[in-house]
Amino acid sequence: MEVGQPPILEIVNDDLDDFCAGTTCLSETATYTISAIDEPTSNANGPTETCVDFLTSFTSSSTGEAGFTLEYEWVVNDGSSDIQTATTQDFDFTFPASGNYTVTLNTSYPNTEVYAGGGASVCEDSDVINITVADSPTITFDQIDLTAKCQADILELGLTSPDESTIATYQWSIRNATTNALIRTGSSDTLQVSTPIGVDTVWAVVSVTTTIGCNVRDSIRIRNFPSDLDISSSDFNSILNLDSALLEDATSIRLTAENAVSGVSWEPAENFSNATGDNTIFFPQNPTSTVILTAMDNNGCTVSTQVIIALDNIRPKRTFSPNGDGMNDCWEILNIGDLGQAAGCEVYVFDSRGRNITTKDQFQQGDNCVWDGNFNSSPVPEGVYYYVMKCEDDNFSKSGSILLAR
């Protein structure tokens, strides 16, 4: 062998037999079973348009291999960064500002179900919704707040914005501004606003849903012109301030229409000396009567006002003498009869110690007798006694004293 040459290894046949030791020089791993499964299909459902500050819902209808669990990941991106993620099957989100967004749904199987030993998930699918977010619309009514109208008039109320073509549904309600009681509802693009008698101001409330599913709500007030139409009487300082008048031993009462411009009308007409005059006389025919004045006022409105006129013909006697002579033997309340029954009256008589001597709550026509001067079937001594008459119609309630002489 020359200097500088590599050594030459020589293997003879006997050495080769010892190297392989009678094998083919192969090695095998353990057997692995690999099953092919379908990748999941990601399906995201949701709108492509919505409004700022409106809760928007997204749902998943993703599918996958039978027997495998689906995992979900939602990602909201505003065009520059991810601003929200969620891992539920369905997802709600409120967009904070207008603009263009993407909502991505990633659907996959859990790693532990795909790889027994763990590792990175590869069985995954994605679906993307491109969504445009607009500012919530502003409601503008075609009338201003506290628009005034005549009591009898009907005002048509509508909207000037949002544009009618962008509104899917309307829901109106009219409520008493004082009690909040519901007066009426509507679902068309306009509403006929009326104010019931006795209601001066109402709230008109509208809730609209836009064609992209956004809901907005607003309201204004509609009122009646204030009216100074009044009923007065020279027989009284005022009637309307009290809303009623009690006539004692009177068969008529003079009435005046105050601040009436024209079109005076009194009801019930048959009980007036002049049912269309500014000054007239009312002749009551019933224990209580509701007098209604209708006229045009200084606002050019036809309005009505009313008072209640009550006849105080029920008169308790001041004295009686139950001595059996057939004259003035019973304490009477004149005209109590049917009127006392109709007014729901009860009469109580007490002695000076406050003891209840008698009570009467049933009355018949022509029978004015209330107390015969006895207590427990025995005559009571002479003296002063007291009565209280309580009626459901409080115009007839009264109290006073009784002088009993024998």
Select from 125, 120, 119, 157 the least CA-distant residue to 140: 157
Cβ proximity of 233 and 255 under 8 Å: yes
- Considering only residues 213 and 50, tell me which one the structure prediction assigns the higher pLDDT: 50
pLDDT per position as a tens digit, 53-69: 999 999 999 999 998 89
Q: Is the per-residue pLDDT at 6 higher than 60?
A: no
What is the rounded distance in angstroms from the CA atom of residue 278 to the CA atom of residue 301? Answer: 17
pLDDT of 20 reads 47
pLDDT in the model for residue 27: 74
Q: How far apart are CA 231 and CA 168, in angstroms?
A: 50
pLDDT at 44 > cutoff 50: yes
Which domains are present in the chain? 140-224 (2.60.40.1220), 230-312 (2.60.40.10), 315-404 (2.60.40)
Select the more confidently predicted residue: 329 or 112: 329
**Does pTM surpass 0.75?**
no
Mean pLDDT comparison of 22-36, 170-184, 305-319, highest-scoring range? 170-184
> DSSP E strands: which ranges in 253-301?
253-258, 262-267, 279-282, 288-296
> Hunting for tokens 């993407």 — which residue is that?
102
Per-residue confidence (pLDDT) for residue 23, from 0 to 100:
53
Decide: 311 and 361 in contact? Cβ < 8 Å: no
Residue pair 141/162 in contact by the 8 Å Cβ criterion = no
Exposed (0-12), middle (13-18) or buried (19+): which is 386, by Cβ within 10 Å?
middle
Per-residue confidence (pLDDT) for residue 330, from 0 to 100: 95
Q: What is the DSSP secondary-structure string of 186-247?
A: E-SSSEEE---TT--EEEEEEEEEETTS-EEEEEEEEEEPP---EEE-TTSS-STTTTEEEE
Query: What does the alpha-carbon distance between residue 406 and residue 402 come to, in Å, rounded to a whole number?
Result: 13
Residue 103 CB contacts under 8 Å (≥ 6 apart), including other chains: 44, 46, 58, 74, 75, 76, 77, 91, 93, 128, 129, 131
- Peptide bond between residue 162 and the one before it cis (omega within 30 degrees of 0): yes
Cα(102)–Cα(81) distance, integer angstroms:
10
d(CA 331, CA 377): 16
Residue-wise pLDDT tens digits, 236-281: 877 777 778 878 766 789 999 999 999 999 999 999 999 999 999 9
Beta strands at 182-186 and 374-375: parallel, antiparallel or unpaired: unpaired
Distance, CA of 270 to CA of 280 (rounded, Å): 12
- Residue 349: what pLDDT? 97
Geometric angle at alpha carbon 186, from 185 and 190, rounded to 5°: 130
77, two tokens: 């991106």
CA dihedral 254, 260, 265, 268 (to 10 degrees): -40
pLDDT by residue (tens digit) across 278-289? 999 999 887 788
| 112-164 pLDDT per residue, tens | 776 654 444 568 999 999 999 999 899 999 999 999 999 889 999 999 999 99
Angle (nearest 5°) at CA 61 between 55 and 64: 145
